[in-house]
Amino acid sequence: MTFRADSPLVTRTHTAINCEPRCGDIKPTLLILHYTGMSSAEKAIDWLARAESKVSCHYVVDEFGSITQLVPEHQRAWHAGVSFWRGETDINSHSIGIEIQNPGHEHGYPDFSDAQMRGVISLCQDIIARHDIAPDGVLAHSDVAPERKIDPGEKFNWALLAREGVGLWMPPDPVSDEDHGLELGACDMRVAHAQAMLSAFGYRAPQTGVLDVMTSKVIRAFQLHFRPERADGRLDLSTQATLQRVVQASARNIVA
């Protein structure tokens, strides 16, 4: 089966088997960014197109910024897996998924190239314009699946994307070497407040007042996206202040 590319930026199409209609003809409101975790874009594209992979995505951006489309945007690709955002668990029906070529943390985790970032930004701008996706709807795979995923990781330049009109970004509060943050098991009002803010922003965060394993993973996901200098899952003052500003900025965006 062949299809026509949705974006004029697409270099080629390569049909993936694993896709289906979006549930209830839902329109995408989220844009989820991943890394491939494979040694090359060609290997990733080949794998994502196979039925036995049980995964797929809408787009792959290679290290040179070239864009391959595998699934039409009106179709539901299988990229998010078990995931959650703002009460929704069928993230695949609500999103468009972009895989960015990078072998990932298990294989050296190289920097994303300038050409690649330009390709990602251009594609995101095009998708956002056509689907009216809000800034706080541009997310990392780790945001919607913090217990399982850490991609695209701390080297991905979210600040650069935001400067180009893609996604939400607030400059993080400086990290203090003397502030090691609250560790696992901490029971503190600061934890309860952070859990409430994380939940308000969209994460599936426990509301226990205890810094348990799941809360730490959600904090790490937030840090990977918004405070990547130190993504350790601990609740320090920098994380708290940055989280407060991000939630406030998101709320203003929703009201607007």
Q: What is the DSSP letter of 98?
A: E
Residue-wise pLDDT for 203-245, tens only, equals 999 999 999 999 999 999 999 999 999 999 999 999 999 999 9
- Per the structure, the count of domains in the chain is 2
Does residue 40 belong to any structural domain of this protein?
A: yes
Q: Looking at residue 126, what is its pLDDT?
A: 99
For residues 26 and 89, membership in a common domain is answered with: yes
For residues 131 and 195, membership in a common domain is answered with: no
DSSP-derived 3-state class of residue 60: strand
Residue 251's pLDDT band (cuts 50, 70, 90): confident
For residues 29 and 152, membership in a common domain is answered with: yes
Last residue of a domain, one of 129, 145, 163: 163
Does residue 50 belong to any structural domain of this protein?
A: yes
The CATH number given to whatever domain includes residue 22 is: 3.40.80.10
Euclidean distance between CA atoms 228 and 238, whole angstroms: 11
Residue-wise pLDDT for 130-181, tens only, equals 999 999 999 999 999 999 999 999 999 999 999 999 999 999 999 999 999 9
- Give the CA-trace dihedral at 155, 249, 165, 77, to 10 degrees: 70
Whether 99 is catalytic? yes
- Torsion sign, CA atoms 247, 159, 225, 21: positive
Active-site choice (52, 88, 99, 178)? 99
